[in-house]
Chain A
């Protein structure tokens, strides 16, 4: 199993630009989570999906952030326009049914730097 895949691993952009982060969950998992990690606030949930449907997006900081899950194997997190305070590591995680249900498996993260 390839695990959760995220791309890009690193992204450097200028303020005002659009940024798109991508995630491929583990095959068969029906829950997908987006988290953000910063020094100041630690790890925080942004949004999560069940069967491709957003369940809770209360962690999305503002309207500049949007997330989609068009199918069971792909999700995007978009920031438009980006700001320096968006600089962080963004993690995608997935979980599902079966023997290891409830265990969330994390991707390697995308380190975003907004200049």
Chain B
């Protein structure tokens, strides 16, 4: 069963704009991870945020976590055509436990 639900399901923006994707989940978590998947390819890990953290940054990525609302957001700043992909959030109830994935957000960045 899928715990995470990403919103929106699809997002189309112009190059240089910011893209924000949201994820909601249902149960308590140890950590939440964001992944990128290019069409027909594997999953690339972007960032992990733990339940006791509220915000993390990595390059052009900013992730927030609100455990009281059971939600997370991924912000990609100054988007590029190469950012076009599907983005998934995944939650883990413990350390090194299986990930429960959402259905993903399809991001299209138009040059």
Contacts and interface: CB of A to CB of B under 8 A. Distances in A.
B45 interface: yes
Looking at chain A's contact residues, the main secondary structure is strand
Interface string B63-95: 000000000000000000000000010101001
Interface string A76-115: 0000000000000001010110000111111111010000
Contacts of B96: 31, 50, 95-96, 101-102
B101 interface: yes
Nearest to B48: A103
Interface string B32-43: 010100001111
Tier of interface size on chain B: 20 to 34
Given A45-B99, A48-B98, A104 B45 contact: yes
Contact of B99 (A56, A104, A109, A111): A104
B98 A106 contact: no
A43 interface: yes
B42 A103 contact: no
A111 B11 CA distance: 26
B2 interface: yes
Interface residues of A, number: 25
Contacts of A48: 98
A102 B98 contact: no
Most buried by B among A33, A35, A104: A104
Nearest to B95: A102
A70 interface: no
Contacts of A59: 98
A93 B95 CA distance: 15
A61 interface: no
Interface of B: 2, 30-31, 33, 35, 40-45, 48, 88, 90, 92, 95-96, 98-104
